[in-house]
Structure 1
Amino acid sequence: MISVLFVCLGNICRSPMAEAVFKHQLLEQGLEGVITVDSAGTGDWHIGKQPHEGTRSLLDQYGVSYEGMRARQVRLTDYNEFDYIVCMDSNNERDVRQLFGSKSDGNAKVFKFMSLLPEKKCDDVPDPYYTGNFEEVYQLVEQGCKRLMARIQEEQLSREGV
């Protein structure tokens, strides 16, 4: 089983949106039994809470389920449990690499989400908690998740014959 973890600051806006969108895309591709996905935050302020109202509203609008999703904090054990650790911005990536220590330095399994969309010429997924622009984030997340799916299929699934 291939596993993906999306990480943002509080795990209520960007990373749960990416988790829900990626799960939706997995269902559409019939890969829900091949790839698992989760999300977490670097901070602990929202542990146990549902995604932000703006995230839920937008996911409802697009018919994307977020059922059962609750915020959690990144754990040291996540490094060994996930194949891809996708950070929504530079600060998240720095914090994750700091948590995981030297084993994550330069490791390709930890990377920024926007590296999937180099044509956007933007380093970070904007945080709608501060900007209020959930639609902009959704559009980036939807495109980036499709690219991540293609990357996983190229790197992993083609080798396994899936």
Structure 2
Amino acid sequence: MYRVLFVCLGNICRSPMAEAVFRNRAEKAGLAGSIEIDSCGTGDWHMGKPPHEGTRRILDGQGISYEGMLARRIRAEDGERFDLLVAMDESNVAAIREALGSDTKAEVVRFLSFVPGARLTDVPDPYYTGDFEETYELISEASDRLLAHLLEAGKIKTAAI
């Protein structure tokens, strides 16, 4: 089982959207049993809260479930439990490294690094921009690219038929 953790600031906008979209893509590809997907934030302001109403609206419109998702903060054990920590922006990368230290086994990457030629390097935070649609479009493309990358790299495998 390959484990992916999406990380943003408060775990109510970007990272739960990424978790839901990526889980949806993995399920549609028949990979639900090959990959574990979760999300968290680097801050604790929204702990225990569901995704932001803007994130829920976008996901509802796409028919993507976010059932059971509640915000949580990154924990030291996440660096050992997960194989890949996917940060929404550079400040999240720095916060992950500060929280987990340098000896974590998990690889830490920015989400848009999977999109060659992307016009942005960071996924903008719709909590501040208000543009949940832009965030969804970026996350959607990056999710497709990340899934393809993991399959090509042999990190996850399709089920034998």
Shorter-chain TM-score tier? over 0.9
Q: Are 2:68 and 1:83 aligned?
A: no
Structure 1 Cα separation of the partners of residues 5 and 156 of structure 2: 18
TM-score by length of 2: 0.94
The AA in structure 2 aligned to 1:33 is G
TM-score, normalised relative to structure 1: 0.93
Q: Which amino acid aligns with 1:109?
A: E
CA distance, structure 2, for counterparts of residue 78 and residue 149 of structure 1: 20
- 1:131-146 mapped onto 2 (5 Å cutoff): 131-146=129-144
Structure 1 segments (4+ residues) deviating >4 Å: none
Residue 24 of structure 1 corresponds to which residue in structure 2?
A: 24
Q: State the aligned residue count.
A: 159
Q: Deviations over 1:80-101 (max 9, x none)?
A: 1001100000000000011111
- Determine the C-alpha separation between the residues in 1 that align with 2:61 and 2:150: 27
1:1-162 aligned at under 5 Å gives the runs 1-104=1-104, 109-155=107-153, 156-157=155-156
5+ long unaligned stretches in structure 2 = none
8 Å contact kept, 2:79–2:106: no
Q: Give the superposition deviation at 1:108.
A: 7.3
- Cα RMSD of the aligned pairs, angstroms, is 1.6
CA distance in 2 between partners of 1:88 and 1:19 (Å):
12
1:69–1:108 distance in 2 versus 1, CA, 3 Å: closer
- The percentage of counterpart residues that share the same residue type is 53
Tell me the distance in 2 between the aligned counterparts of 1:161 and 1:79. 27
Return the alpha-carbon distance in structure 2 between the equivalents of residues 19 and 147 of structure 1: 14
Return the offset for 1:121. 3.2
Aligned to 1:79, what secondary structure does the other structure show? helix
CA distance in 2, matches of 1:73, 1:108: 17
Q: Report the 3-state secondary structure (helix = DSSP H, G, I; strand = E; otherwise coil) of the residue aligned with 1:149.
A: helix
